[in-house]
Amino acid sequence: MTDSTKSATLTLDGESYELPIFSPTAGPDVLDIRKLYAQAGVFTYDPGFTSTASCDSTITFIDGGKGELLHRGYPIDQLAGKSHYLEVCYLLLYGELPSATQLEDFETRVTNHTMVHEQMHNFFRGFRRDAHPMATLVGVVGAMSAFYHDSTDISDPWQREVAAIRLIAKLPTIAAMAYKYSIGQPFVYPRNDLDYAANFLHMCFSVPAEDYEVNPILSRAMDRIFTLHADHEQNASTSTVRLASSSGANPFACIAAGIACLWGPAHGGANQACLEMLKEIGSVDRIPEFIARAKDKNDPFRLMGFGHRVYKNTDPRAKVLKQSADEVLELLGVDDNPLLQVAKELEQTALNDPYFVEKKLFPNVDFYSGIILEAMGFPTSMFTPIFALSRTVGWISQWKEMIGDPQNKIGRPRQLYLGETERDYVDIENR
């Protein structure tokens, strides 16, 4: 962080306090309040931390008004259109796009770590078959610290590197195992001859009884879903990973904490909520009814998968994923899937309705990822685990950045206390 050249003056009860202002390379200026309590005896109040910068970072920048998402300065549409997931992983982890040699080495390291410890298979059998795959994922990822003791010392740069590679490599395997376990099929081991996305699809959909060939269109769509969810700045789950890691917790515990946070329907469950909305609509002829309900301020119905809390214009990730959605639906067809028929018609209706255009309620990344995963044959319960394995690299990149930050200190948010003031204990017979 550079020294501040600007400041703001806060006047409180006749006393004035100078607060430094830092200017980022992009985005609004930031008021430094770290010494506010020591100097003025007051805290700031910011529920949800929506106006508070908890860290400085060089990884991801979002401008919601412009509909802009940059990873290390590169626009997400360029990365998703020209690159692939593991190259973006390298970029997020190390700060620059790799050379051909660096990328080959990185892909080899990830590929060689995709298998999990054989004894970890026993963990899955401790869960009920009908357990949500996210519950399984939280438990198994947290348990990784019990198996990989040689990569839990966060003070050792090499152990941090090994933990990062292991998590990126093994999350698809663990997520696929969670899926297979939930449907009563045998686990499928990873294959080193397949790329990252194709390997995940193979582990999810192949069975020992017959050969399974991954369609390149589906593999590309899966890779784009991974890429478009790789990181999204200081969101709830990323902030959770950072807060957990601020205590010095091992990386596997921190990522498990991030997965647990992502499970919430307001965060990682958004594309699942989108599909559940499509099920509620049920058929194309009911779309006008639900469009009218979405416009009615007094109706609790919400059109899931449209608009975004951060992006006040179009979601830049949605533009890219729409192309993959069109390719997948053309490949697999929608004639026999009422949900996908509703999705396609709803998309066109919303894109052409003046109400939604005016309010910029365009289809977002959750809408398109949801219909792609539905078309591929994934149950909605697997949507959030796929999001989790995609976001793992972002969590790790943010974790590594925080560990290496000399300003790093344990997180300790303050509160506006509104409870009872001090009072004397009353014996039970007198209450």
Catalytic residues: 308, 366
Distance separating alpha carbons of residues 112 and 105, to the nearest angstrom: 11
Cβ atoms of residues 213 and 370 within 8 Å: no
From 17, 18, 25, select the one nearest 1 (Cα to Cα).
25
Q: How far is CA 165 from each of CA 108, 118, 169, 175, 176, rounded to the nearest angstrom?
A: 10, 18, 6, 16, 18
> Alpha-carbon distance 350 to 353, whole Å?
5
Phi/psi for 378 (5° steps) reads: -80, 135
For residue 206 the two structure tokens come to 């192949």
Tokens for 36? 């506010």
Adjacency order of strands within the sheet including 60-63? 60-63, 68-71, 74-75
What is the edge-to-edge ordering of all strands in the sheet holding 15-22? 6-12, 15-22, 30-31
Q: Helices 85-94 & 216-228, crossing angle to 10 degrees? A: 20
Question: Residue 220 in 3-state DSSP?
Answer: helix
Strands 74-75 and 60-63: unpaired
User: Do residues 278 and 342 make contact, with C-beta atoms less than 8 angstroms apart?
Assistant: yes
C-alpha count within 13 angstroms, C-beta hemisphere, residue 108: 6
**For the chain, what is the largest distance between any 2 Cα atoms, rounded to a whole number of angstroms?**
80
Residue by residue, DSSP assigns 51-115 as T------SSEEEETTTTEEEETTEEHHHHHHHS-HHHHHHHHHHSSPPPHHHHHHHHHHHHTT-S
Q: From the CB of residue 101, how many other CB atoms can be counted at a distance below 10 Å?
A: 8
Q: Are 383 and 370 in contact (CB under 8 A)?
A: yes
Cα distances from 343 to residues 166, 237, 306, 334, 365, in angstroms, run 37, 28, 12, 10, 13
287-295 vs 338-352: helix crossing angle, rounded to 10: 50
